[in-house]
Chain A
């Protein structure tokens, strides 16, 4: 039983990372009805920028909260710009094209970052410098919680709260919801569509960058292909929670993290990657709108 709770704790921390990535997918899907396949690569670039900023600024020599915040800030700012740039170059020109077109450019962008990344950064995994020292801070019987897990959950929750505030309580958030609801009508009401969509990408990409930094805290292996699987799984998490729904993405992310660690712990770690896709197919067949989503009627 202790082992089960330990897996649960690990799963929830891991799920926090999925939740952060899933939020970006769900926001972009909300405004553009597009699966941003390049989102996993933005997460990778977040981890990479964390790695390089930690090395160049010497953050790893002074591990602690300040270094972590600095790395987070740099990575989030960099990826926000990157996300907006990807939208500008690869998706905006295709706003009116058939829906397959931006999907294919999205895959193209994703491939580009994976392979250009291998050329620029090298294909071998890099060991991310330690920004925090691991130690166990909480213990319930046999179940231990490390400070890293608490930091991951804390940062992830704080970002989720901040995001909810931005989307629900600010002008730009209201504009985002308007665009998601009906883009054309929003444009008629004077909402600057292009800027709102760019902002949505920037916001989602910043969250993915944060996920990249957090993941390299506990799993310090950074390489150009690291975004592929987490990206796909976070998308599955977004679908599980109900794509377009922010609480859904958070819930889906945590559930996905738990499912994955339990499968790895009790079945076989080789099936770890399969469970996400099994969940995806089950949810698409049984409840395509997701756990917290609303089914949309198809208009003829």
Chain B
């Protein structure tokens, strides 16, 4: 299969980028900053949901601290752009004589890399001790780490402490309002493809195996802790990337943006969309981000609806969302179908 797909794949990438560019231009024509902002939020939540799905859905590790990594990415990007943004941009433009767009793109990539790397490093620190724990203990330990991250950031004066940090005023912001959608959605699509590629690779089989039977994995000579940590760190890095996008698009960061509730929200996306279904996460995250915007008048009921959906989903089809043997096979078939569909978005 790889041989016959080698040529089209390169074309796919080009077509995908063209489609994203067209999407970006189409939205810019609407001249509606609010609409663009909602679309950015959709992308951020989709990355959060897909990255948590890698941990919760595919590897079966219940993390309730995903918002912590999101917050790390958010604050690392904000801190770099506030404290070092000016000099770095000056260096890129005046010393290296890069044209303005190239300099900004490079700076944006630097922020993404730094945010993702910091979140990944935190993921190692959090994951190594907590992933030795099972199910509910893991949930509560990750919850604890998520809260600790938030409280520590809340106490760092250099990033504004409880006042939060204004990002726009001090940096030549990478404008994610109109032009930025291309960048944001390229990052989102890249994150989704990364997770999809990872899960369907030989390496990714180990994730599913750990979810289905940890003891069997161990008896085959693969360390479940290593596999779990790997999935956890990749998921954390992507959550950090989502945080970078969030901080750059909001212009203001505050620790209230990644409380325990945000982790729960990410879990709701994954549970609703189906644990182990990437398209499910994408759809659920998009729907749950857009719906409250459309239904402003009943937005108060959003969290009540979330909670009822979580309960109802588990009561009505708990097995449908978990990997019993045949449902795993069914799930895999669904996943394969989805893979062609992801590729299919590139005509």
Contacts and interface: CB of A to CB of B under 8 A. Distances in A.
Interface of A: 34-35, 90, 93-94, 97-105, 107-112, 114-116, 118-119, 228, 232, 235-236, 239, 268, 270-271, 273-274, 276-278, 280-281, 284-285, 288, 300
A110 B322 CA distance: 22
A277 B215 CA distance: 29
B300 interface: yes
Given A278-B148, A281-B129, A300-B215, A99 B303 contact: no
B154 A270 contact: yes
Chain B interface bracket (under 10, 10 to 19, 20 to 34, 35 or more): 35 or more
| Most interface-central of B136, B152, B155 (chain A CB within 10 A) | B136
Contacts of B144: 236, 276-278, 280-281
Interface of B: 60, 62, 64, 129-130, 132-133, 135-137, 139-141, 143-145, 147-148, 151-152, 154-155, 215, 260, 264, 267, 271, 300-301, 303-304, 306-311, 313-315, 318-319, 322
Contacts of B64: 107
Nearest to B60: A100
Given A35-B140, A277-B148, 19 more contacts: A35-B136, A90-B315, A94-B314, A97-B318, A97-B322, A101-B318, A107-B264, A107-B267, A108-B306, A112-B307, A116-B307, A236-B140, A236-B144, A270-B151, A277-B147, A278-B144, A281-B145, A284-B130, A285-B132
A274 B314 CA distance: 31
Contacts of B260: 228
A281 B135 contact: no
Per DSSP, chain B at the interface is: helix
Contacts, number: 122
7 contacts: A34-B136, A104-B310, A104-B314, A111-B310, A112-B304, A268-B155, A281-B129
A104 B316 CA distance: 13
Contacts of A278: 144, 148
B141 A280 contact: yes
Contacts of A271: 151, 155
A103 B139 contact: yes
A268 B152 CA distance: 12
B143 A274 contact: no
A245 B136 CA distance: 17
B152 A108 contact: no
Q: Which 5 A-B pairs have the closest CB atoms?
A: A277-B144, A108-B310, A111-B307, A112-B307, A108-B311
B140 A100 contact: no
